[in-house]
Structure 1
Amino acid sequence: MNTSNWVIQDPAPGTRIIMFRGDTRSFTLSLSNPQKGSAWLRTNIGQAETSRNEIVRAIKSDEPPLGRDWFDIPMNRVDDRNFLITLPLCEVGHFEAKCFFLNAGETIPVWPEGPNVVINVEPADTCCANIIYNAFVRQFGPNKRDNLINTAENNLIRDLDKNGYAVIPPSGTFRDLIKELDFIIGELGCRIIQLLPIHPTPTTYARMGRFGSPYAALSFTAVDPALAKFDPRATPLEQFIELVDAIHERQAKLFIDIAINHTGWAADLHETHPQWLVRDPDGQIKVPGAWGVVWADLTSLDYANKDLWQYMADVFLTWCRRGVDGFRCDAGYMIPVPAWQYILATVREQYPDTIFLLEGLGGKVSVTRDILNKANFNWAYSELFQNYDRNQIETYLPESNEISRSDGNMVHFAETHDNLRLAERSKIFARMRTALCALCSHQGGFGFANGVEWYATEKINVHEASSLNWGAKTNQVKHIRRLNTLLKVHPAFHDQTQPKMIQQGDGNHIALLRHHLPSGKKLLIVANLDDERKTLGAWDFQQTGMQGSVFVDLISEKKVTITESNGRQSCLLDPGRVLCLTTDSHDIDLVSQADSKDLLVPERIKRQCLRAKALDVLRFYNGTQDIGTFNPDQAAQQLAEDPVEYCRSLNPFSHEPRVITWQWPRDMRREVMAPPGHFLIIRVDTPFRARIIDKNQCLAHEESLPGLDGSFFALFYPLPSPRAHRSLMLKLPVYTPGKTQHVDGPLLFLSRAEDATVKQVYYRKDLSGHPLLFLGTNGHGAMLRAQASWGELASRYDALLAANMDTEIPEDRWIMFTRCRAWLVFQGYSQEICNDCFDSFGFEYNGSGCWRYQVPTGQGEHVLLSISVTMVSGENSLRMVFSRESTQDRNSRLADHEPIRLILRPDIENRSFHETTKAYQGPEHLWPAAVTSAPNGFTFTPDAEHKLYVQINEGSFVWEPEWQYMLHRPIEAERGLDPDSDLFSPGYFSVLLEGGRSVELTARITGPQEPDYTKPKSSIRE
């Protein structure tokens, strides 16, 4: 690579940045001296699908990644030394970029020194307020408030344990948790519910503790029935979906904890894939562990097996289809990075906004960085919760902040199920640590375990169901609500905020300056880490730029007196006191007004999501290139005002919007068609989610956006144009108050005009649920209308020959030849030609239809019979050719020299195609006399106006009249018309057919002015 220090790039080579979908990123290239030439940006930004496909194909097809996702994009010359480009960030993923200069007339680029710039793009709705409530469903049962098992019961249970009984008390359920969602999401203000594992756990064999560990999963895709109430109307999985819907209805997200490094003993995988277990040389199954602790109820999985990677990718997709928004990946650092790369690429191909949270506690920081960067995890567990004093936090927090800025958000959990309860030490300590973790977070990446809000003191034991102290009078509910409100509304807790530790002096305290760069807003977090003693919190005021002697604490809304001495500002802090200080009086109104209402989705998130969608539309028309003066914020406003008009304004090809509307509930039962290159907009009065599904694959997923008119919409990016029309399904959970309505709406995505084709051959599977109809014409108003199911009549308009008796203009068709039933007879065995032996149906553009049947003849053999039906051009006439195809040396077919007998029985009528035939009204007595039979056919003359001729070129006609009564036409029945009609058959044709031979049946209808019919020359070639 040709590098030079006279080519300078901004951002500097080697920079790693966290950004969000809906952002834009500028790159500049500066030359130390004016040069003739051009500047380019080499990048894979905008090529996420290609990147993911290469990762997936490398595992599934053993194809080496070839870097197909890298492209060169021209930069704009600003002056004789500087170049600029601004790209939209429209996709979630890991991207890299680097500028280069190309001297005029040369082909070797000159690069700035250093590695690529790395940009990790996160989902738009994670730019702030990523507040996690970690719920252990089991704990929402009888013990939620207090431990209800008394000493006598405990003694009884111990006696049963000694005698080998399995005693498992009642567990909390999904429905129990649903009852508390208004509190958790509405009152506390949490935006993410994260569940400990919900998989089936051991109940007898290898059960540890009273309940068994949820991390000892027996199935990765099943739901533990202990977490559901017995209800004949709803399975445990369906009750889990109730929880999903209830969380989404409140515009929050659901994460589940999943530990794919191991299973419980006797898990399903032990039976179906025993080769995936890690075993010692002596055959003993390996048991995992960490921190010197062995998890004896678990068994390790071997990720040297790449088919295990594919299995796990399907597991994650299964939960995504059920509505899960993200995953806490327990012990994720134990899984190889290439395995995670494959799993995430597979999941993000269908659900790109899925959040992956790494539980890497106990692993190396370098491994965490690799999983965040290379595997493209979104977040990781911070270890702030186990750093307590000033020295520990001063050592840990700067590196954590740097990772959050460059690799992935380090989420600060105040408490997890792995550590002791904060309130066990003191309520002051719990309150301080909760505030510390919240106020030190990036993009509001803050979490806590259920019970923290109630000062619960019993440690969460994953084998038990300890009390949550739920409803305790002394609590920090309002405190947590205020913290969460701060994270939602104040810009200093949003993206593009720079945190800096600036504490000075002695004492067990920290001071953290939060500076929101776009707005210039600042907050100062000062915390006394000692819950027993006061301390003087001090900081360098020149770094804060916050002047004055009185600040306001946004947590308590109280004024705080600040002293200044020797270039320092300071204030005395009570034990465990945490302050969020501002000098801006507007901040008080901003926070207090937001705290007075349940703010489900922050305005910052709404704006970012609208920006992302506005840039999607721009990218569809312009591709990934410099956006110039395009203003994403103005575009987001225009999109919210009128999405269709916004799309119209960006269409460079015409004045049309190229948007197809799906309106709820109007279009619930309508198949909506989407032409190529068109957006699909979904409009609903309430919040909703929408997916476009092809069988089990999600092609696109959208969450509704708020419009300025109070309604909600989702705008789907145009799907690639199919080569043939493509039927897909729109799945739509609509969140009406107190109820979720699941809607399935059929969609038809149309092919391009130049790709349009008509399917000409239909097989047996195509008939199932989709009745097919063949229509042939003579070019002069007559028609042949036959069901693909031979001999079936679905409507009074079905007929093999419906004539137009007027030679000048079309009039009501006259039906005389309705159908022709057929049988094959071999060695006395008769087989009807019907769907039982149907093979295929096809048509030719000359107007002929062809039915093919595999008809059994016994002894494991069959004959292949084809029926070709064509109307004669310009005549009220029909040709039907019955062919027995040659064996062509196929052992399963009856030998050609063995003749079979073909029986054809025509059913006739004499009526307008709008009417029906009723035998009792006269035809039963009149029609048999109107038939004149001949050796090769018959003539039917029911009146002076109509005559039907039916003849066969070989074989004979046998007079054997019969009536069929009350033949049901289901289409007329659906329309409330008379569905029943009668048919008359004067006899049948009989002919022997050897292999490779054909016979032709002809029919013609004539009027009074036409001469008698003479049989036309056969179309069969001898």
Structure 2
Amino acid sequence: MARQIPQNVRMYNLFPRLVGRMENWSIHFDRIKEMGFEWIYINPFHYPGFSGSLYAPKDYYDFNPMFINPNSLVPPVRQMENMIEEAHKRGLKVVMDLVINHTAKDHPFVRIHPEWYKRDEKGEVKSPGAWDNGHWVEWGDLAEIDNENSPDRENLWKYWEDLVLYYTDKGFDGFRADAAYQVPSELWKRLIEVAHTKREDVVFFAESLGCTPQQTLTLAESGFDYIFNSSKWWNYRDPWLFEQYNQTRVICPSISFPESHDTMRLAMEMKNHLPAIKQRIQFTAFFSSGWMIPVGMEYGFRKKTDVVFTTPHDWEPVNYDLTSFITQINRIRQKYSLFGEETENIIISHDNMHNVLVMLKVSSDKKTKALVILNQDTFNMQKVNLGHLGQYFGPSLVSLEDLSPENPQSYVPGENYEYLLNPGEVRIIHWRA
């Protein structure tokens, strides 16, 4: 029997530097559950290197002092297990970050296993980096692992195997693979297979932003269950998003997000302009099969999270409260299976395309469809005229339903659909054969 991949992933990123000690994380779990999320993704909690960055692990089996209670009689590992148990009591599944492309530069392995690392032309341990506006930015606190060509590759890979098995055994339900496409696919295949020998339901999510379709295919063939897509950055006009999505959706389901721990906060980016904020939230929520938001987005937090400097003191007063709005979005996603699968997404031509996006979502069996009608103009009302909706759905319109998260219409005029959209407004019209 084929392994079942979970559908309709609704994920909440609990950024640990913002929420402090693990014993306090469960304070947030009820709110997360009530908003309709089922998965919690937690950034690295391991003991960090000299920079203090979450993504510079110095000891994968020890904990960042920020996240444990040193005065507790409960051992740190048990504090983590208690946190996972509290999540499971509420029906929440917990995903941890898996950082195996690099370690902290002061990790003991640099001394004990120097052959596990890449070297530069001078023979020094190599630091990874990235291009930023044409400039190479090196992350000097990190040491790049040579997972592909290390002369001691078998022992290195065995170390990663043991790490995955250890945290699977501790109760984690999934892993988010950091910089997944920079790690050999053969290693991912091995780690995923090993995890599934312990627990078949463990889910693997690949950080895949910036991947080519071929790299995405390679990740999917390695056994990853989900990738992340780039819908957050789409301008509602250029064709690149749909070109990417239509290439990858047949390979691997994907997760959208309106903001992440790596991006500017939506409230800051949109200057607190709620029509623009809600518009972007809804577009990402109804674009692909998975959806994720980070902690604080529901309250309009404005300060970008930082993997080195964020502390619980950065928790902000409520700017605005979108918990009910997000809850309604997740109710729709949960109730209507169309929004939990990778659909064919088609841009519909109409006479006000410059201002209004109309996207038709079609299920794989063609039996359910939805129109996502989005006012790109977040300051002015815009009119949309789609005529007879039968041209998109089929001759029978008796099943038409307005699922819009805000102010849904009790009746959908399918014979001649005209609507005056408020600034940034999104309408969702659902049809079932």
Correspondence for 1:330 = 178
Deviation at 1:560, TM superposition (A): 7.8
Aligned residue identity for 1:460? T
Q: CA deviation at 1:573?
A: 1.8
Are residues 367 and 473 of structure 1, via their aligned partners in 2, closer, same or farther at CA, if it must alter by over 3 Å?
closer
Tell whether 2:25 aligns with 1:177.
yes
Alignment of 1:538-577 (within 5 A): 539=386, 541=389, 542-545=391-394, 547=397, 552-559=402-409, 569-577=417-425
Change over 3 Å in CA distance of 1:285–1:535 after alignment to 2: farther
Q: What do residues 666-691 of structure 1 show as CA deviations (whole Å, max 9, x unaligned)? A: xxxxxxxxxxxxxxxxxxxxxxxxxx
CA–CA separation in structure 2 for the residues paired with 1:408 and 1:496: 9
Given candidates 96, 103, 108, the residue that maps to 1:263 is 103
Please tell me whether residue 429 in structure 1 is matched to residue 276 in structure 2: yes
- Separation in structure 2 between the aligned mates of residue 286 and residue 482 of structure 1, nearest angstrom: 48
Measured after TM superposition, the shift of residue 518 of structure 1 is 6.1
- CA shift, 1:354, in A, is 1.5
> What displacement does 1:522 show?
3.5
Instruction: State whether structure 2 residue 426 is matched by structure 1 residue 578.
Output: yes
Pairing 1:512-531 to 2, within 5 Å after superposition: 512-516=359-363, 520-531=367-378
Structure 1 residue aligned with 2:88, among 245, 248, 272? 248
Q: In structure 1, what is the equivalent of residue 11 of structure 2?
A: 132
CA distance in 2 between partners of 1:289 and 1:331 (Å): 11
Residue 225 of structure 1: CA displacement?
2.8
Q: Could you say which residue in structure 1 is the equivalent of 2:324?
A: 478
Aligned residue among 232, 251, 255 for 1:411 = 255
Q: Distance in 1 between matches of 2:349 and 2:259?
A: 25
Distance 1:473 1:455 in 2: 5
Distance 1:532 1:468, change over 3 A: farther
Counterpart secondary structure, 2:62: coil
Q: Distance in 1 between matches of 2:323 and 2:183?
A: 38
> Partners in 1 of 2:97 and 2:344 — Cα distance?
31
Shift in CA distance, 354/507, structure 1 to aligned 2, threshold 3 Å: same
After TM superposition, give the deviation of residue 331 of structure 1 in Å.
Answer: 0.8
Q: Report the residue type matching 2:2 in the other structure.
A: E
Tell me the residue number matched to 2:209.
361
Deviations 1:68-103 (A, max 9, x none): xxxxxxxxxxxxxxxxxxxxxx233xxxxxxxxxxx
Q: Letter of the aligned partner of 2:325 in structure 1?
A: H
Deviation for aligned residue 1:497: 5.3
Matches within 5 A, 1:810-825: none
Alpha carbons of structure 1 residues 401 and 509: separation in structure 2 relative to 1, 3 Å? farther
User: Is 2:204–2:226's contact at 8 Å kept on the other side of the alignment?
Assistant: yes
Q: Cα 1:458–1:496, aligned 2, differ >3 Å: closer, same or farther?
A: closer
In the superposition, the TM-score normalised over structure 2's length comes to 0.88
Distance 2:315 2:266 in 1: 13
Q: 1:297 to 1:526 in 2, by over 3 A?
A: same
In structure 1, how many angstroms separate the alpha carbons of the residues matched to 2:193 and 2:337? Answer: 32
Query: Is the 8 Å Cα contact of residues 511 and 538 (structure 1) preserved in structure 2?
Result: no
Residues 300-449 of structure 1 mapped to structure 2, 5 A cutoff = 300-303=144-147, 304-305=149-150, 306-307=153-154, 308-373=156-221, 375-387=222-234, 389-392=235-238, 394-404=239-249, 406-424=250-268, 425=270, 426-442=273-289, 445-449=290-294
CA deviation vs aligned residue, 1:335-357 (integer Å, no higher than 9, x gap): 12222222222222222222111
Distance 1:221 1:364, change over 3 A: farther
- Aligned with 2:163: secondary structure? helix
SS at the partner of 1:459?
Answer: coil
Match of 1:456 in 2: 301
Q: Deviations over 1:421-462 (max 9, x none)?
A: 1111133322221111111122xx100111110111111111
Pairing 1:993-1008 to 2, within 5 Å after superposition: none
CA distance in 1, matches of 2:98, 2:29: 22
| Cα separation, 2, equivalents of 1:262 and 1:441 | 30
Conserved 8 A contact 2:279-2:426: yes
Matches within 5 A, 1:860-879: none
Match of 1:705 in 2: none
Partners of 2:342 and 2:177 in 1: CA distance: 27
Aligned mates of 1:449, 1:536 — CA distance in 2 = 33
Task: Give the structure 2 partner of residue 219 of structure 1.
Answer: 59
User: Contact (CA 8 Å) 1:213, 1:462: kept in 2 or not?
Assistant: yes
For residues 103-131 of structure 1, what are the alpha-carbon distances to aligned partners after superposition, in whole Å with 9 as ceiling and x for unaligned? xxxxxxxxxxxxxxxxxxx43xx123x10
Where 2:333 maps in the other structure, the secondary structure is helix
Contact persistence 2:229–2:254 (CA under 8 A)? yes
Q: What is residue 337 of structure 2 aligned with on the other side? A: 491
For residue 47 of structure 2, the aligned residue among 200, 208, 217 is 200
RMSD, aligned α-carbons: 2.6
Q: 1:299: Cα distance to partner?
A: 1.0
Which segment drifts farther, 307-316 or 532-541? 532-541
SS in 1 for 2:94: strand
Contact in 1 for aligned 2:213/2:248 (Cα 8 Å): no
Gaps of 5+ in 1: 1-89, 93-121, 141-171, 585-1022
- Distance in structure 2 (CA, Å) of the matches to 1:294 and 1:568: 57
In terms of fraction of residues, the more helix-rich structure is 2
Residues 1:248 and 1:175: Cα distance change in structure 2 (over 3 Å): same
- Alpha carbons of 1:573 and 1:127: their partners in 2 closer, same or farther (altered >3 Å)? same
Q: Which amino acid aligns with 1:427?
A: L
Give the conservation status (yes or no) of the 8 Å contact 2:288–2:340. no
Counterpart residue identity of residue 543, structure 1: Y
Post-superposition offset of 1:253: 0.6
CA gap of 1:365–1:456, structure 2 versus 1, over 3 A, is same
- Residue 401 (structure 1) shift: 4.4
SS at match of 1:556: coil
Alpha-carbon deviations, 1:551-578, whole Å to 9, x = none?
63441243288788xx984422222211
**SS, match of residue 279 in structure 1:** coil
Look up the SS of the partner of 2:240 in the other structure: helix
TM superposition shift of 1:291: 3.1
Contact 1:384 1:397 in 2 (8 A): no
Given that 1:173 and 1:228 are in contact with CA atoms closer than 8 Å, whether structure 2 keeps it comes out as yes
Residues 417 and 439 of structure 1: CA distance in aligned 2, closer, same or farther (over 3 Å)? same
For 1:476 and 1:255, how far apart are their aligned partners in 2?
24
- 1:236 is aligned, of 76, 79, 87, to 76
Percent of residue pairs bearing the same amino acid type:
24
- After superposition, what is the alpha-carbon deviation per residue over 1:51-79, rounded to whole angstroms, capped at 9, x for unaligned? xxxxxxxxxxxxxxxxxxxxxxxxxxxxx
Q: Distance in 2 between matches of 1:551 and 1:250?
A: 31
* Equivalent residue, structure 2, for 1:91: 2
Matched AA of 1:552? D
Contact 2:288 2:343 in 1 (8 A): no
Note closer, same or farther for the CA distance 1:272–1:568 as it changes in structure 2 (3 Å cut). farther
| Equivalent runs, 1:573-612 vs 2, <5 Å | 573-582=421-430
Deviation at 1:379, TM superposition (A): 0.6
